[in-house]
Structure 1
Amino acid sequence: MSALVRRATVADARELVRMRQLALTCPEVPWSRPRDVPDGPWMEECRKAFASMLRDQDPETFAAFVVDAAPGRVAACAMGFLLPRLPGPGSDKPFNGDISTVATDPEFRRRGYARAVVTALRDWMDLRGCKRVTLASSSEGEPLYVSLGFVIDNPRMSWRPE
């Protein structure tokens, strides 16, 4: 089945929050019970952030691609950022890409929608000059990403202030 993918607009901000909440419920252990991600003030802050990023796309550093379920309702989405990078001896490309959220509403899974939106986002990033596109995957999503050409790299280290 071919999915009609479109670039998200400001009008999609509330649905993008719903999809982000859905993505965050992905179980830590494959095929186990989904994690609880409660509603809260974070959702309105996230909606405002999405609306701002979708409205102020100059320079374009954020994009979300969606497949619609119905008017005003999203079936699947993929969203991500272009991260500036310094030129180096191996590449003068100006960005790395980070896919931050991929989600498909449960009733629309197994239709190729995630593949369609991730491909659209990856292609958007490639056209803008990404040297590398990264994402964090659940084990359920890993086969999809591998089939799209992503490789499992050594884990990166991170630090978070307390």
Structure 2
Amino acid sequence: MSESMLFTLPDAEDNSFNIAEHLPAVVYFYPKDNTPGCTTEAQEFSALLPQFKQLGYSVVGISRDTEKSHHNFICKYQLNVTLLSDCEENVCRQFDVLKEKNMYGKKVFGIERSTFILDKNGNIVQEWRKVKAAGHAQIVLDTLQNHV
């Protein structure tokens, strides 16, 4: 796990966000803005953001939604985490989070809810895949508190 996972994506305000300038970081991938699980996860990461920052970590959420969708999602739920748009799915592929899913009997490709901790060099030092949204942000925070 020594491959550096650096990337640059647009944020909700259409600014270029270079992860290298925000390391170490917690990077979480989620399927879609304004859906129940994704809203829960974003709200929990937002609520715990001061504690992540205290440990020196940025928190970044990534989905295939547009910048405008992210902006509306942030405003609707008063989120304070950074949300990035990966409409081209390049970073999703880089982290291997696109998986075949079964939605209402149809096979579709979508983001498998996953979280990664990147160290100051952009290397993955911890990962969670097939995450359950509720309570996950606390698990990530606990992991960091026990290893920092």
Per the normalisation by structure 1, the TM-score is 0.25
Considering only CA atoms, is the larger Rg found in Structure 1 or Structure 2? 1
Higher strand share: 2
